[in-house]
């Protein structure tokens, strides 16, 4: 009798472990195929196994092809035509439906009280909507994708459908590309969250190959590596590898009593969903880092014209800089609100970004680049 019991137990255990063994085998096969550079076969195989409808993921149209008005003299400038207004925005916050301490309704009311105009709740693997919204607050649906053990998480903005995490064990680059491709095809904008957390810890070489994402989060209370502004350095190093990728920011709040406002966006758009999504795709937003600011300095003009690059803010800041990633500061003004860089200095530059600071708060524009220099 004991022998029959043990045999039955072994059979049951085998049945339970078989799906796990199959999943691990698929992941190992995927990693091997990636290492042998057969990435097309990898993507097709995984897509057919896990989501046959999404086996033909198409890359986004490059912004210089989608937004022609932002071009000037062979440069792409997300801020070339600032005709709307700046909207204080956060896409990364968690409610009590998953991990968070506060109800969706409490979150909405709190962000509205802090002068946010665009807001999302990014619960893990859940699309959460408050029952009621303050009239002045634009809500855009989103969720944080990732049910894996090593915190590879994406913010999926305005998804057309929900996608499960089919790779819960580990995240090699092959698996990351496959999952990101599926998510990109079902969303308007895709962000890689906290890229330097243990388990995720993306290098710039890997990030340059992860062409399925639109942006990386450079400000968040869960960035995990803030030494020497680690995520900012990672973004710069990825740009140096020729990969065009936008920076992104959010506060990733889990409890309003403990932490809010560590990061957010200033999006230049009309206050409707399609305009905000268009601004994200175009890169027409500024990433803010530091404690919530009710009176953030706003760009009035970031323009390329016959004289070069002209930058004007609506307030004086402690420091206004033009940065060439990998090289350093090209031009800087202190205690000013304007900065001009002539074409003689721009002609040899493939790309640049602008940052400014007031006190301990810092603000980062997206990258301006010569068309063809970044892909």
Helix axes 2-35, 173-184, angle to 10 degrees: 80
pLDDT of residue 169: 66
pLDDT of residue 346: 86
| Main-chain phi, psi angles of 330, to 5 degrees | -80, -40
Distance from C-alpha of 166 to C-alpha of 343, rounded to nearest angstrom: 50
Mean pLDDT by 10 residues, the chain (375 residues): 63 70 53 39 41 52 89 95 95 91 95 95 92 93 81 90 72 81 93 83 90 92 59 92 95 84 91 97 95 87 95 95 84 88 88 93 96 91
Distance from C-alpha of 343 to C-alpha of 220, rounded to nearest angstrom: 35
Residue 275 and residue 117 in contact, taking contact as beta carbons nearer than 8 Å: no
Exposure class string for 287-326: b at 16+ Cβ within 10 A, else e: bbbbebbeebbebeebbbeeeebebebeeebeebbbbbbe
* The dihedral sign for the CA sequence 114, 120, 121, 122: negative
pLDDT of residue 21: 60
Q: Which of 64, 3, 4 is nearest to 283 (CA)?
A: 64
pLDDT of residue 227: 44
Distance from C-alpha of 37 to C-alpha of 35, rounded to nearest angstrom: 5
How many other CB atoms are there within 10 angstroms of residue 211's CB atom? 17
Distance from C-alpha of 276 to C-alpha of 194, rounded to nearest angstrom: 23
pTM of the model: 0.84
Vertex 205, ends 204 and 207: CA angle to 5°?
A: 60
Q: Which of 57, 69, 59 is nearest to 282 (CA)?
A: 69
Q: Which of 89, 76, 18 is nearest to 266 (CA)?
A: 89
């Amino acid at each position: 009798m004991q022998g029959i019991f043990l045999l039955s137990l072994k059979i049951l255990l085998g049945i339970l472990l078989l799906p796990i063994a199959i999943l691990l085998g698929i992941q190992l096969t995927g990693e091997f195929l990636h290492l042998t550079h057969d990435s097309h076969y990898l993507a097709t195989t995984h897509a057919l196994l896990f989501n046959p409808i999404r086996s033909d993921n198409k890359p986004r149209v490059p912004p210089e092809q989608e937004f022609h008005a932002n071009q000037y003299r062979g440069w792409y400038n997300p801020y070339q035509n600032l005709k709307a207004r700046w909207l204080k925005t956060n896409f990364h916050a968690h409610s009590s439906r998953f991990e968070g301490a506060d109800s969706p309704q409490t979150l909405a009311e709190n962000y509205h009280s802090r002068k946010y105009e665009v807001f999302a709740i990014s619960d893990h693997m859940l699309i959460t909507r408050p029952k009621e919204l303050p009239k002045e607050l634009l809500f855009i649906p989103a969720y944080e994708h990732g049910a894996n053990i090593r915190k590879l998480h994406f913010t999926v903005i305005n998804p057309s459908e929900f996608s499960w995490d089919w790779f819960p064990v580990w995240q090699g680059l092959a698996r990351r590309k496959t999952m990101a491709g599926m998510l990109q095809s079902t969303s308007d904008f895709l962000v890689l969250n906290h890229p330097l957390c243990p388990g995720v810890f993306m290098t710039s070489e890997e990030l340059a190959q992860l062409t399925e994402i639109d942006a990386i989060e450079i400000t968040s209370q869960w960035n995990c590596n803030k030494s020497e502004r680690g995520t900012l350095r990672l973004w710069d190093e990825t740009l140096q590898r020729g990969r065009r990728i936008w920076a992104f920011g959010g506060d990733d709040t889990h409890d309003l009593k403990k932490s809010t406002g560590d990061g957010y966006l200033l999006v230049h758009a009309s206050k409707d969903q399609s305009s905000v999504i268009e601004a994200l795709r175009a890169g027409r937003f500024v990433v803010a880092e530091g404690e919530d600011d009710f009176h953030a300095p706003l760009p009035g003009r970031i323009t390329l014209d016959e004289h070069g690059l002209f930058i004007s803010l609506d307030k004086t800041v402690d420091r206004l800089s033009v940065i060439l990633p990998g090289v350093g500061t090209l031009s800087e003004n202190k205690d000013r609100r304007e900065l001009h860089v002539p074409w003689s200095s721009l002609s040899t530059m493939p790309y640049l970004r602008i940052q400014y600071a007031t006190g301990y708060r810092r603000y980062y524009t997206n990258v301006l680049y010569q068309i063809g220099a970044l892909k």
